[in-house]
Structure 1
Amino acid sequence: MDYYTTMEEESRTITMHSELRPHIGQLSFQMILPFHDGDANERFQIKVSDSRKKLTVTDKVSKTSEDIELPARISEGAVEYIVSQPSVPPQGLSHDKKKMVFSYRLQVDQEDVQTLRRNSLDDDYIPWDADSMKDRGDLLCRYCDYPVAHCGYGWRWRNLPSSNWADMMDLWHCHKPHSKEDQQQTAAEESNASRRGIGPSNRVVARRQAVYVDTSTLLLSKEDCWTIKLERTKPVVVGGKIRIPVTCRGCGKTLGESDQGNGYRLYKASLGLQFTDSNGWFSVERHPTEEIIAAQMLECFNRENIAHFIVHTGRKLGKVLWLFSKDLRYSMVSVDCTVNNQRAIRVHYRDIADAQEALRTGLIGDEYRNTPVDLEEIFLPDNLWEDLIVSLKVSTEGLPLNLSKWGQWDVGYLPRYEPKRSD
């Protein structure tokens, strides 16, 4: 998980968390310290950096201090407010009543507000779309760098109908033509599209030296993935559908699944992309599982307005993920990790005892017992499921206890893909 810095020491007495929602131009800041019944001024001190983007909190009793990089630069008025506030009593105690919780709402600098609002309009949240992958390099196994496919110059990359459906719009039809001439023209177009394997009545057919891209997978021909192993003896039956996994010959990890004899559909989260950087060195680009899942959730919400997702591995037990906030930035400092200014989505999640039953009925918990909700299914192999669970757990445990639960739901973050800006 590239966006986390793991902390080995467990001597921290200060926990901090800050969350920015760009559309309101305000960030929240919370800090938690061991309980102390004296004057707060005697206990800790807050300093703001000259850039107004970093806070330093010092615990005078334990003589320790911690820094947190804020998700945005705060205003000059917010600096005066937070520096003068330590004398205010804490907003409450932690669940175990051994720690004090201090909460602040801080105004963001106006210039930063305008920039953040412009950036929040950026819908480029899907990594490895077709345009960004053309002529870039070779696909590798994410886990052991074993070669998967040599995607050299001249290969064709095409976005499949999803958030990038416009690439193939002329091959998909939402209505039947009315005139005889239109019907004849449409029949000719569909015949041509069918020969190419992408007509409206056909499944997309994998072609040699072509890669078809959707939000979470890449579809390649079997001939181009000759190093992949098809695990016919290890099928996974999900909702009546048989999924036959394909694995890496180097390490045995699951890379994707057979597309019903029509090539291999490879998970982006299981792959690495090897390319030559501007200095002529070989580099490998990877995207974590949780970032790909965040993209799936955003794409589905934007397309169908579905905010609840059943994530499972084919077994009975699964997770319900509720997309609670589409776009925010957060920072946290805790015993286990440090996160600095990470763009993310906020999710509420919980266990579901029977994933397939929930998908059938739309019922996901006690408060929804008599109210079905629209659900989208996300299937994951075991290795990607483990990645997701670890990521959710780390983000939840890094939150202050009073923020880590919402009713019967656990609260966590999934990182949101953000392309590198040239400026």
Structure 2
Amino acid sequence: MTVVYPQHQPTFFVELMPHVAQMAITAAPMFENPSHLTVLSPTSLYFKQTAGSEHIIVDLPGELTKDAPISCVRVCQFDKPTQTLTARLKADRSDRPARVVPLSATDLSSSGNVWCNACKSPLIKQMVKFLDLPSERWQEMLDYWHCHKPGHNHGHEHEHGYSDPVPKTQLVPRSLLVLVGLSYITALASDINCTIKENIVQCSICNAVLGTFRCRSTVY
């Protein structure tokens, strides 16, 4: 029996995940493993769905490692129900730019406070602990830490019959603990010298806008 496939080509989605040195490749719709998925260069792949179909050159958002396999067909995973092909290849870390950190918990701990840019008044009411947030792309690590991502409830709720309204992937501060991102801090409003009007956080001295107010009394 001869199987006749539609003539259209699949759509490729390629994501570079630099913190785990991986290149995630997804193609759909697919009807079986491809006849060719070959490394053409460190930044491109050669793809053919079947031996008789037209080829596609897939441009990559980064470079593959020098030891990447020439043929990638063996590392592909084909999911028949969703007609989706996935693969992961090693990405090269050598061309990553040096990390520049505008804010860090170490610097803020040394200075002891955060000041309003307008009136220079201190914003932290009392002694707090500063703690660095993980990388802004930390969620890309979830596939390596969990068999399923947080927030997937397997179709059930907590023992007490309620669901947590805050997503499991959202990190929130607590009293006397200030979380420090690359370009912002997040803290409880009770730890900051501020006023809040319509979810806008303002300096309590000069009314300069400092940030926004979010759930659980959290200031960003």
- TM-score normalised by the shorter chain: which range applies? 0.3 to 0.5
TM-score for both structures, normalised by structure 1: 0.25
**Higher normalized contact order (CA 8 Å, seq sep 6+, divided by chain length):** 1
- Greater strand content: 1
Per residue, is there more helix in 1 or in 2? 1
**TM-score with structure 2 setting the length:** 0.43
